[in-house]
Amino acid sequence: RYDAGPFLPPGGGLDAYREAAAGCEGCPLFERATQTVFGSGDESARIVLVGEQPGDQEDRQGEPFVGPAGKLLHRALTDAGLGEEPAYVTNAVKHFKWAPDERGKRRIHKPPTLRETHACYPWLDAELRLVSPDVIVALGATAGRALLGPSFRVTKDRGTPLPLSPTATPAQPDAHPPVVATLHPSAVLRATDRDTVYAALVTDLRTAAALLS
């Protein structure tokens, strides 16, 4: 069974978890990735942003959202009035999943399976407990499924505060903040009607911003 659980440290803060996650072999994705990309940001952040998995740049640099999607995300946060707000940024899956293109030159991103996402959830759960934010933002379908359950659909579920899935948090569901799901920044980069899709992302981030206490 794929499961990060046995790799979690017995306790400690974000640094202890980050260090332990570096050695995670809870699913096969560690084999092809350069390194674990754990979350980054302030332990006292009021907002946690959850992406899918590290991309090519993130895999090389070891930090989440430092590539093109991250650049767009930071612009959207600023446009949503969150430019000065300390955020904790992480991913549902901590290793880059990829396959070589036909010429063997480029690393093509592959979406993680539900099984891989579930296997990695203990890390995300620990991050959410340690940071204990006022609001969680799920960026795209993978983060949405991890936090809101397998029937999550971006089109139907984005933009309104929803309770964290009870299956995602068996221990203490009441202690958890609302989740606002939105589009993944990469979906904005791929969209033909980029301005409209970008505006939707900013609108949803404003909805999340309004939940900060």
How many other C-beta atoms are found inside a 10 Å radius of the C-beta of residue 74? 17
What's the closest the beta carbon of residue 171 comes to ligand URA, in angstroms? 26
What's the closest the beta carbon of residue 73 comes to ligand URA, in angstroms? 8
Binding region for ligand URA (CB under 6 A): 51-55, 58, 64-65, 67, 69-70, 91, 186
Burial of residue 30 (CB within 10 Å: 0-12, 13-18, 19+) is middle
Q: Which residues pair with 87 in a beta bridge?
A: 47
Closest residue to ligand URA, based on beta-carbon distance: 51
Burial of residue 155 (CB within 10 Å: 0-12, 13-18, 19+) is exposed
Burial of residue 31 (CB within 10 Å: 0-12, 13-18, 19+) is exposed
What's the closest the beta carbon of residue 21 comes to ligand URA, in angstroms? 14
Tokens representing 51? 């992406």
Nearest residue (CB) to ligand URA, 52 versus 116: 52
Nearest residue (CB) to ligand URA, 54 versus 144: 54
Tokens representing 159? 């933009």
Nearest residue (CB) to ligand URA, 12 versus 113: 113
DSSP assignment string, 152-194: --HHHHTTSEEPPPTTT-SS-GGGPPPEEEE--HHHHHH-SSH
Tell me which amino acid residue 150 is: P
Nearest residue (CB) to ligand URA, 4 versus 187: 187
What's the closest the beta carbon of residue 142 comes to ligand URA, in angstroms? 7
What's the closest the beta carbon of residue 195 comes to ligand URA, in angstroms? 21
Nearest residue (CB) to ligand URA, 36 versus 91: 91
What's the closest the beta carbon of residue 70 comes to ligand URA, in angstroms? 6
Q: Find the helix packing angle between 14-21 and 114-131, rounded to 10°.
A: 160
Nearest residue (CB) to ligand URA, 12 versus 35: 35
